[in-house]
Amino acid sequence: MSDLTERLNAITQERIGILLPNSLGGVVRSLPLFPALSERFPDAELTAIVSKDNSGLLEGHQRVAHVIPYKRREMIHHWRPLLRELQARRFDLTIDLRGQLRTGLMSLATGASVRLGLETAREGSSFTYTDLIADSGPLVPEFVRYWRVAEALGVGHLRRVSEITIDSRTREWAIEQASTIRRPLLAIHPGADSLTKRWPVENFAVVACKAIRQYGCGVAVLGGDLEIAAGEHFVSLMQKFIPSKPVLNLVGKTSQIRLAAFLQQADCLLANDAGPLHLAASLDTPVVGLFTCTSPAISGPLGAAHELVSTCVDCHASYRICCPNRGARYLACMEELSTDRVSAAVSAVIQRQQQTRRAA
């Protein structure tokens, strides 16, 4: 029996706090931990500690007893009340999946006798944990990295399941929205949190037009409040290229749960390496993922149903939020990732689905 197992067996294990990543994609990749933790600690209350922007998938989640949201951009204003609340919860175990100074201090503030972190911890946060999970460094694929926690707790043999609770009213809304456009339904998400991850909106429009002409697709464009301008630009391009085929514009009109419900209705999602890509994959919706500054091997979703397209420039998968090149080489990855390659990937997904339907 390992030292960690002995210490876990020695505590009551009634209250567990999970400090989640700051991105939607990170939250999605961490979701399989909740049913695993419920299996390992059946009598424990699970509390999700997460940025308010990405708390939508946790609210009402069947495995989550409490959600403690915090505002990343206003930490200084409610830092003390937040730490007092975390201390008052009297957690027995905390798990920090983010590994930044602020989340390390949150973990420390809980006073939990067992505080777990990953080897990706930075900014000194590793000093706030009692244990680091082995083999969870930055070169480990993200979906594997988070699952290392389950393995360390003795439930790594369980099947990874991303449970997302979608109420019937939200599901009906998604079905109604999807019914307004033709099948196959190609969803488009042209946004991402950094310029080095955002393939040009014009390229998305070109690929969407090819899919319409080749397969008669209906097209929906998705995104958050910060992506409204990009969504409107996409729609205007589509109206110019194929005015007879209207686009369903849901940019800025969906909560995270509504987004999940709509992605369940889509036949394919074409997106940059961002939250909606991972959310769709977790819902078993086939995706075509575009990877410029990130690596599909480290950050991409699992599954043979997906097509992950990466650039081949020298600085690909560098994870830089600012392009290191200047002049003619500035954002060369965007040009190198051609619309022909992406269209071929979309065709592969749609053709597989058509073959599956014919065989059924």
Domains 3-152 and 169-359 are alike in CATH topology: yes
Q: Is the dihedral of CA 160, 194, 311, 260 positive or negative?
A: positive
Mean pLDDT, rounded, of the chain: 92
pLDDT at 354 over 80: yes
pLDDT at 76: 64
Question: What average pLDDT does range 129-142 have in this prediction?
Answer: 94
**Cα radius of gyration rounded to whole Å, the chain:** 21
Per residue in 308-342, pLDDT (tens digit) is: 999 988 888 888 888 788 887 887 788 899 999 99
Tokens standing for residue 260: 């999940």
Per residue in 176-203, pLDDT (tens digit) is: 999 999 999 999 999 998 888 999 999 9
The residue type found at 348 is A
Per residue in 52-90, pLDDT (tens digit) is: 999 999 998 999 999 999 887 666 667 888 999 999 999
Beta-carbon count within 10 A of 180 CB: 10
Tokens standing for residue 268: 């394919």
8 Å CB contact between 252 and 274: no
pLDDT at 359: 80
Q: 11 or 177: whose pLDDT is higher?
A: 177
Question: Rounded CA gap, 130 and 119, in Å?
Answer: 13
Lowest mean pLDDT among 22-26, 74-78, 165-169, 176-180: 74-78
Name which of 207, 198, 138, 220 is nearest 334 in CA terms: 198
Which helix (H) or strand (E) covers residue 355, if one does?
A: helix 339-359
Q: 9 or 59: whose pLDDT is higher?
A: 59
CATH superfamily ID and name for 3-152 = Glycogen Phosphorylase B; (3.40.50.2000)
Tokens standing for residue 222: 């998705």
pLDDT at 305 over 90: yes
Q: 321 or 15: whose pLDDT is higher?
A: 15
For tokens 């946790």, the residue is 58
pLDDT at 291 over 50: yes
Name which of 353, 349, 127, 165 is nearest 258 in CA terms: 165
Question: Going by C-beta distance under 8 Å and a sequence separation of 6 or more, which residues neighbour residue 327?
Answer: none
Provide the whole-model pTM.
0.93
pLDDT at 77: 67
Question: What average pLDDT does range 209-228 have in this prediction?
Answer: 96
pLDDT at 352 over 50: yes
Question: Rounded CA gap, 310 and 129, in Å?
Answer: 36
- Matching CATH number, 169-359, of 2.40.50.100, 3.10.20.30, 3.50.50.60, 3.40.50.2000: 3.40.50.2000
The phi and psi torsions of 179 (rounded to 5 degrees) equal -70, -10
pLDDT at 224 over 50: yes
Question: Going by C-beta distance under 8 Å and a sequence separation of 6 or more, which residues neighbour residue 48?
Answer: 18, 20, 55, 58, 61, 64, 66, 67, 68
Sorting pLDDT into bands at 50, 70 and 90, what band is 137?
Answer: very high
pLDDT at 71: 83
pLDDT at 35: 96
- The structural domains of the chain, with segments of one domain joined by +, span 3-152, 169-359
